[in-house]
A = this chain, B = another copy of it.
Amino acid sequence: MTTRTLARHGGLFFEEFAIGDEVESVGRTITETDIVNFAALSGDWNLIHSDAEYSKSQMFGQRVAHGLLVLSIASGLAVRLGFMEETVMAFRGLEWRFTKPVFIGDTVRLRVKVQEKKEMARLGGGLVTFEMAVVNQRDEVCQRGAWDLLCKARGAD
């Protein structure tokens, strides 16, 4: 049995990601505050996010979290998993579907799975593609897709 210590585990290097490896993040409750603060920061005050009266008459009957707010929070949940720390050099791209609305009071988690790897020696590492899914408290997938992260090779720093 391994003795566990305070030691940070540190991010994984390109070589360490194993295809098929998966993990689920902790949760975070999406609050009205998050929606107001994201509308503020982004400038996206579309009425389905910011006008409770208008939203009553629309498709969902209530205000909806911005898709990009939930994606941004998912990115934070990913970072908190620790595997990116000091080893991810850049976010290179994503393909993403917003499949179900997230409402005030929902709690989301991120499911992460290593899907593909592609060495990019010239850049000192390689591209790791993750299959990502945001699920809510009823385990319904609300957003899903693939993220490409450029990760350092060991010793390439």
Contacts and interface: CB of A to CB of B under 8 A. Distances in A.
Nearest to A91: B67
A115 interface: no
A22 interface: yes
A112 B81 CA distance: 20
B44 A28 contact: no
A75 B44 contact: yes
- The number of times this chain is found in the oligomer is 6
Interface string A14-28: 001110011101111
A100 to B, nearest CB: 10
A68 interface: yes
Interface residues of A, number: 81
Interface of A: 2-9, 12, 16-18, 21-23, 25-29, 31-34, 36-38, 40-48, 50-54, 58-59, 63, 66-69, 71-73, 75-86, 88-98, 101, 105, 107, 112, 114, 137, 145
25 contacts: A5-B23, A6-B12, A6-B23, A6-B114, A8-B82, A9-B82, A27-B47, A28-B50, A29-B50, A29-B51, A32-B32, A32-B33, A34-B41, A37-B37, A42-B76, A43-B75, A43-B79, A44-B78, A45-B76, A51-B107, A66-B91, A67-B90, A67-B91, A90-B101, A93-B97
